[in-house]
Amino acid sequence: MAKQESTELTEAQLAVHWKEEGYYHPSAKFIAQANMTDTDILERFGEKNFPECYKEYADLLTWFVGGKLNACYNCVDRHLPKNRNKTAIHFVPEPEGEPIQHITYQELWVRVNEFAALLREFCGLKRGDRVTLHLPMTAELPITMLACARLGVIHSQVFSGFSGQACGERIADSQSRVLITADSYYRAGKLLDHKKSADIAVETAKAEKAPPERVLVWQRHPGKYSAQTPLVQGRDFVVNDLLPKYRGHRIEPEHMLATDPLFLMYTSGSTGRPKACQHSTGGYLSYVTGTSKYIQDIHPEDVYWCMADIGWITGHSYIVYGPLALAASSVVYEGVPTHPDAGRSWRIAEELGVNIFHTSPTAIRALRRAGEDIPKKYNYHFKHMTTVGEPIEPEVWRWYYNVVGKGEAVIVDTWWQTENGGFLCSTVPALSPMKPGSAGPGLPGIYPVIFDDDGKELSAGAGKAGNVCIRNPWPGLMQTIWGDPDRMTRQYFQRYCKDKDSKDWRDWPYFAGDGAVLAQDGYFRILGRIDDVINVAGHRLGTKELESAALTVPEVAEAAVVPVPDEIKGRVPELYVSLKPGVKASPELSAKIAMAIAEHIGPIAKPNHVWIVPDMPKTRSGKIMRRILTALSTKSDTGDITTLANPEVVEIIRSTVQAGG
Ligand code: WTA
Residue 478 has pLDDT above 60, yes or no: yes
Alpha carbon of 514 to ligand 1 centroid (Å): 8
Choose the weakest-confidence range: 113-127, 261-275, 317-331, 411-425.
Answer: 261-275
Element of type H or E holding 304: strand 303-306
**Ligand 1 close to Cβ of residue 413 (< 6 A):** yes
Between helix 105-121 and helix 140-151 the angle, nearest 10°, is 60
**Ligand 1 close to Cβ of residue 311 (< 6 A):** no
Q: Which SS3 state, helix, strand or coil, does residue 486 take?
A: helix
**Ligand 1 close to Cβ of residue 385 (< 6 A):** no
Contact 299, 77 (CB under 8 A): no
Contact 421, 478 (CB under 8 A): yes
Instruction: Please give the residue that has the higher pLDDT: either 5 or 561.
Output: 561
Alpha carbon of 471 to ligand 1 centroid (Å): 18
**Ligand 1 close to Cβ of residue 314 (< 6 A):** yes
Task: For the beta carbon of residue 126, count every other beta carbon within 10 angstroms.
Answer: 13
Q: How many residues does the chain have?
A: 661
Alpha carbon of 535 to ligand 1 centroid (Å): 8
Contact 617, 629 (CB under 8 A): yes
**Ligand 1 close to Cβ of residue 430 (< 6 A):** no
**Ligand 1 close to Cβ of residue 535 (< 6 A):** yes
Query: Which atom of ligand 1 lies closest to the CA of 387?
Result: 15
Pocket test for ligand 1, best of 267, 540, 541 (most atoms within 8 A of CB): 540
**Ligand 1 close to Cβ of residue 129 (< 6 A):** no
Q: Where are the alpha helices (DSSP H) in 138-194?
A: 140-151, 164-174
Q: Residue 271: pLDDT band by 50, 70, 90 thresholds?
A: confident
Alpha carbon of 318 to ligand 1 centroid (Å): 14
Write the DSSP assignment of 588-656 as a string of letters.
HHHHHHHHHHHHHT-GGG--S-EEE-SS--B-TT--B-HHHHHHHHTT------TTSS-THHHHHHHHH
**Ligand 1 close to Cβ of residue 355 (< 6 A):** no
- Does 51 sit behind a cis peptide bond, omega within 30 degrees of 0 on the bond before it? yes
Average pLDDT over residues 39-50: 95
Question: pLDDT tens digit string along 365-387?
Answer: 999 998 889 999 999 999 999 99
Contact 20, 437 (CB under 8 A): no
Contact 361, 538 (CB under 8 A): yes
- Cα 256 to Cα 369: distance, rounded to the nearest angstrom: 47
Q: What is the pLDDT of residue 2?
A: 38
- Cα 73 to Cα 64: distance, rounded to the nearest angstrom: 10
Q: Which residue spans within 194-235 are E strands per DSSP?
A: 214-218
**Ligand 1 close to Cβ of residue 275 (< 6 A):** no
Pick the residue whose CA is nearest to atom 19 on ligand 1: 528
**Ligand 1 close to Cβ of residue 476 (< 6 A):** no
Residue 7 has pLDDT above 50, yes or no: no
Average pLDDT over residues 420-433: 98
Pick the residue whose CA is nearest to atom 24 on ligand 1: 417
**Ligand 1 close to Cβ of residue 391 (< 6 A):** yes
* Residue 579, strand partner residues: 556
Strand 275-280: give its sheet, edge to edge. Answer: 236-238, 214-218, 178-182, 130-134, 154-157, 261-267, 275-280, 480-481
**Ligand 1 close to Cβ of residue 358 (< 6 A):** no
Average pLDDT over residues 306-312: 97
Query: Which atom of ligand 1 lies closest to the CA of 425?
Result: 15
Q: Residue 17: pLDDT band by 50, 70, 90 thresholds?
A: low
Residue 4 has pLDDT above 60, yes or no: no
**Ligand 1 close to Cβ of residue 197 (< 6 A):** no
**Ligand 1 close to Cβ of residue 479 (< 6 A):** no
Query: Which atom of ligand 1 lies closest to the CA of 426?
Result: 15
**Ligand 1 close to Cβ of residue 334 (< 6 A):** no
**Ligand 1 close to Cβ of residue 438 (< 6 A):** no
Alpha carbon of 219 to ligand 1 centroid (Å): 33
**Ligand 1 close to Cβ of residue 159 (< 6 A):** no
Q: Where are the alpha helices (DSSP H) in 319-378?
A: 322-325, 344-352, 361-370
- Cα 192 to Cα 283: distance, rounded to the nearest angstrom: 37
- Cα 326 to Cα 148: distance, rounded to the nearest angstrom: 20
Alpha carbon of 512 to ligand 1 centroid (Å): 10
Question: pLDDT tens digit string along 67-90?
Answer: 999 999 999 999 999 999 999 999
Q: Residue 188: pLDDT band by 50, 70, 90 thresholds?
A: very high
The pTM of the full predicted model, rounded to 2 decimals, is: 0.94
Alpha carbon of 237 to ligand 1 centroid (Å): 37
First to last CA, the chain: 33
Contact 435, 523 (CB under 8 A): yes
Q: Which SS3 state, helix, strand or coil, does residue 123 take?
A: coil
Q: Which of 292, 298, 261, 258 is nearest to 278 (CA)?
A: 261
Alpha carbon of 365 to ligand 1 centroid (Å): 16
* Chain centre distance of CA 501: 33
Alpha carbon of 414 to ligand 1 centroid (Å): 8
**Ligand 1 close to Cβ of residue 268 (< 6 A):** no
Query: Which atom of ligand 1 lies closest to the CA of 513?
Result: 21
**Ligand 1 close to Cβ of residue 363 (< 6 A):** no
Q: Residue 5: pLDDT band by 50, 70, 90 thresholds?
A: very low
Q: What is the pLDDT of residue 661?
A: 61
Q: Residue 18: pLDDT band by 50, 70, 90 thresholds?
A: low
Q: What is the pLDDT of residue 6?
A: 37
Distances from the Cα of 308 to the Cαs of 177, 331, 408, 478, 621, in angstroms? 27, 10, 22, 20, 43
Alpha carbon of 362 to ligand 1 centroid (Å): 12
**Ligand 1 close to Cβ of residue 415 (< 6 A):** yes
- Cα 61 to Cα 26: distance, rounded to the nearest angstrom: 29
**Ligand 1 close to Cβ of residue 313 (< 6 A):** yes
Q: What are phi and psi of 191, to 5 degrees?
A: -90, 110
Choose the weakest-confidence range: 277-291, 403-417, 520-534.
Answer: 520-534
- Indicate the average pLDDT of the chain: 95
- Cα 167 to Cα 69: distance, rounded to the nearest angstrom: 30
Give me the percent of the chain exceeding a pLDDT of 90. 92
Contact 27, 430 (CB under 8 A): no
Pocket test for ligand 1, best of 397, 415, 446, 492 (most atoms within 8 A of CB): 415
Contact 323, 359 (CB under 8 A): no
Alpha carbon of 467 to ligand 1 centroid (Å): 14
Average pLDDT over residues 201-213: 98
Q: Residue 405: pLDDT band by 50, 70, 90 thresholds?
A: very high
Pocket test for ligand 1, best of 158, 416, 525 (most atoms within 8 A of CB): 416
Burial class (CB in 10 A: 0-12, 13-18, 19+), 503: exposed
Question: pLDDT tens digit string along 25-36?
Answer: 999 999 999 999
Question: pLDDT tens digit string along 326-368?
Answer: 999 999 999 999 999 999 999 999 999 999 999 999 999 999 9
Pick the residue whose CA is nearest to atom 10 on ligand 1: 417
Task: For the beta carbon of residue 458, count every other beta carbon within 10 angstroms.
Answer: 19
Alpha carbon of 392 to ligand 1 centroid (Å): 11
Choose the weakest-confidence range: 24-38, 496-510, 568-582, 631-645.
Answer: 631-645
Q: Which of 384, 440, 446 is nearest to 414 (CA)?
A: 440
Q: What is the pLDDT of residue 3?
A: 38
